[in-house]
């Protein structure tokens, strides 16, 4: 008998091509992981050609870095480059078996993206969302076949972080869940199956950490004190570094989602919204090393 929550791997669908919707940093990072580990063509799309080109250029840059570090041969680098295609034509998704999105974190946007792509894909294609804290079931509300949607939540930096949260909604069927688990294993990630609750497991805990750090600042503790204490405590990144890594707007959105879902346990931070508008918290030198706090952010 299978352990609880473990889907039957025999039900997993074969993946011959991957479609990625969104060509931002997160999507470009996992598009590269798909070509590298699944060794299948990956097509990547976004709202316009400029965004698509930026995503493909990022992937090419990362392939170059892997080659420079001696992790892959030049033949392998050429092979990976040849497997990545950028497009603005949804018809290129017709033969994709696994289609995953990482577009703007807004429910209506994601619902429309899936409703639209469903018109172009094969009846057996599986759909996945990389949402960090929205309800996966609600994201699939406009799908004709919500049973083929699953959450597949990566962590930043995708190449390094070992976890994927596979979000199982009440609608997700076993073939979909099974395909997600097999793909995660091929990507050499540890997959956990989570319930479709706000923030799943990790962001719910991280939102608490980041929210408390912001609340300490909001109530008068200087940024430097919060940052210095948590750096010396031994966290791999301080909350402010982490917020910049995930993106200040994404961070603010995650906190808002948790405040809305659990108002008695999560604070709102107007300071975080101000910082998201400002664009950064930390000051860095030309090689990206942190040199202090941005003067406009810490006032």
Which CB, 33 or 171, lies closer to ligand CAA? 33
Q: Which of 30, 58, 155, 240 binds ligand CAA (CB under 6 A)?
A: 155
**Quick check: 236 binds ligand CAA (CB under 6 A)?**
yes
Which CB, 113 or 250, lies closer to ligand CAA? 250
- Supply the minimum distance, in Å, between the C-beta of residue 266 and ligand CAA: 15
**Quick check: 297 binds ligand CAA (CB under 6 A)?**
no
Query: Residue 271: which residues within 8 A CB-CB, separation 6 or more?
Result: 214, 217, 218
Which CB, 67 or 87, lies closer to ligand CAA? 67
**Quick check: 246 binds ligand CAA (CB under 6 A)?**
yes
Site for ligand CAA in 127-146 (CB under 6 A): 132
> Helices 239-246 and 202-218: crossing angle, nearest 10°?
120
Rounded Cα distance, 77 and 291, in Å: 34
Strands 84-87 and 98-101, how do they pair?
A: unpaired
- Supply the minimum distance, in Å, between the C-beta of residue 94 and ligand CAA: 30
Residues 145-175 as b/e (b if ≥16 CB within 10 A, e otherwise) read ebbbbbbbbbbbebeeeeebbbbbbebbbeb
**Quick check: 28 binds ligand CAA (CB under 6 A)?**
no
Find where tokens 């999507």 sit.
Answer: 27
Q: Return the number of other C-beta atoms located less than 10 Å from residue 184's C-beta.
A: 20
Of the candidate spans 16-24, 77-85, 156-164, 256-264, the one that interacts with ligand CAA by CB under 6 A turns out to be 156-164
**Quick check: 231 binds ligand CAA (CB under 6 A)?**
no
Of the candidate spans 51-59, 116-124, 243-251, 262-270, the one that interacts with ligand CAA by CB under 6 A turns out to be 243-251
**Quick check: 237 binds ligand CAA (CB under 6 A)?**
yes
Query: Residue 225: which residues within 8 A CB-CB, separation 6 or more?
Result: none
Strands 18-21 and 42-45, how do they pair?
A: parallel
Which CB, 107 or 245, lies closer to ligand CAA? 245
Q: Which of 111, 156, 262, 290 binds ligand CAA (CB under 6 A)?
A: 156
Of the candidate spans 32-40, 158-166, 268-276, 289-297, the one that interacts with ligand CAA by CB under 6 A turns out to be 158-166
Q: Do residues 137 and 170 make contact, with C-beta atoms less than 8 angstroms apart?
A: yes
- Supply the minimum distance, in Å, between the C-beta of residue 165 and ligand CAA: 9
Q: Which of 211, 209, 223, 208 is nearest to 297 (CA)?
A: 223
Site for ligand CAA in 164-203 (CB under 6 A): 203
**How big is the site for ligand CAA, counted in residues (CB under 6 A)?**
17
Q: Which of 250, 255, 276, 297 binds ligand CAA (CB under 6 A)?
A: 250
Closest residue to ligand CAA, based on beta-carbon distance: 132
Residues that bind ligand CAA (CB under 6 A): 69, 132, 155-157, 159-161, 203, 206, 236-237, 242, 245-246, 250, 254
């Amino acid at each position: 008998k299978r352990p609880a929550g473990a889907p039957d791997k025999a039900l997993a669908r074969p993946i011959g091509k991957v479609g990625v919707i969104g060509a931002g940093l997160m999507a470009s990072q996992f598009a590269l992981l798909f070509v590298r580990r699944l060794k299948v063509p990956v097509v990547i799309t976004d709202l316009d050609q400029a965004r698509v080109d930026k995503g493909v250029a990022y992937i090419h840059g990362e392939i170059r870095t892997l080659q420079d570090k001696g992790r892959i041969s030049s033949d392998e680098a050429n092979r990976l480059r040849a497997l990545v295609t950028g497009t603005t034509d949804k018809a290129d998704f017709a033969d994709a078996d696994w289609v995953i999105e990482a577009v703007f974190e807004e429910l209506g946007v994601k619902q429309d993206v899936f409703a639209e792509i469903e018109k172009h894909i094969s009846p057996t294609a599986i759909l996945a969302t990389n949402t960090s804290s929205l309800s996966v079931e609600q994201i699939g509300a406009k799908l004709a076949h919500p049973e083929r949607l699953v959450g597949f939540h990566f962590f930043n930096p995708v190449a390094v972080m070992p976890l994927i949260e596979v979000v199982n909604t009440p609608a997700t069927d076993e073939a979909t869940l099974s395909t997600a688990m097999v793909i995660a294993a091929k990507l050499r990630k540890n997959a956990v199956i989570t319930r479709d609750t706000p923030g799943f497991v990790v962001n719910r805990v991280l939102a608490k950490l980041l929210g408390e750090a912001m609340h300490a600042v909001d109530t008068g503790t200087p940024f430097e004190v919060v940052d210095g204490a948590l750096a010396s405590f031994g966290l791999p990144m301080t909350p402010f570094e982490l917020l910049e890594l995930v993106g200040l707007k994404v961070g603010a959105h995650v906190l808002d989602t948790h405040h809305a879902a659990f108002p008695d346990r999560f604070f709102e931070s107007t300071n975080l919204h101000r910082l998201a508008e400002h664009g950064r918290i930390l000051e860095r030198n030309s090689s990206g090393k942190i040199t202090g706090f941005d003067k406009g952010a810490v006032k």
